[in-house]
Amino acid sequence: MKAIPGKNLFNPTEHPHRRYNPLTGEYVLVSPHRMKRPWQGQVERETAVSHPAYDPTCYLCPGNERAGGARNSLYEDTYVFTNDFRALLPDVPSAKEQHHPLLHNKGVRGTCRVIC
């Protein structure tokens, strides 16, 4: 995720962050950049049909291209990779300190992994 062009500023509409919930006293993770991930809008019902061991259209199957464009290895055992559309990012600009009692947020960094 890139910062605002020409500036390295935290933007709560672009960068993952924690928001404080004053009613519960807890922070909630907000990941607005995930709205840009590809989703085809489909809704699928669960069926009792057995699923194939390999599906050429599955983003997670060995050797297939993922939604983000990377290609999976031809794995035969447990396979772990960084999520192409992760909720947290490894590098986020620092947020300005806020002094309003109801509107605090903090930039958060992290890694999200997928296990197949």
- Top pLDDT among 1 and 106 is at 106
- pTM score over 0.85: no
Query: What are the pLDDT digits (tens) for 7-63?
Result: 578 888 888 888 888 889 898 888 888 877 777 677 778 777 787 889 999 989 999
Cα distance between residue 101 and residue 47, in whole Å: 49
Scored b (16 or more CB within 10 A) or e, 23-36 reads eeeeeeebbebeee
Scored b (16 or more CB within 10 A) or e, 88-113 reads bbeebbebeeeeeeeebbebbeeeee
Two tokens at 43?
A: 């809704």
Where does the pLDDT of residue 5 fall: very low under 50, low under 70, confident under 90, or very high at 90 and above? Answer: low
Q: Which residue has the tokens 């807890």?
A: 26
Query: What are the pLDDT digits (tens) for 87-105?
Result: 888 887 777 766 777 777 7
- Go through the domains of the chain in sequence order and give each one's CATH number: 1-36+56-116 (3.30.428.10)
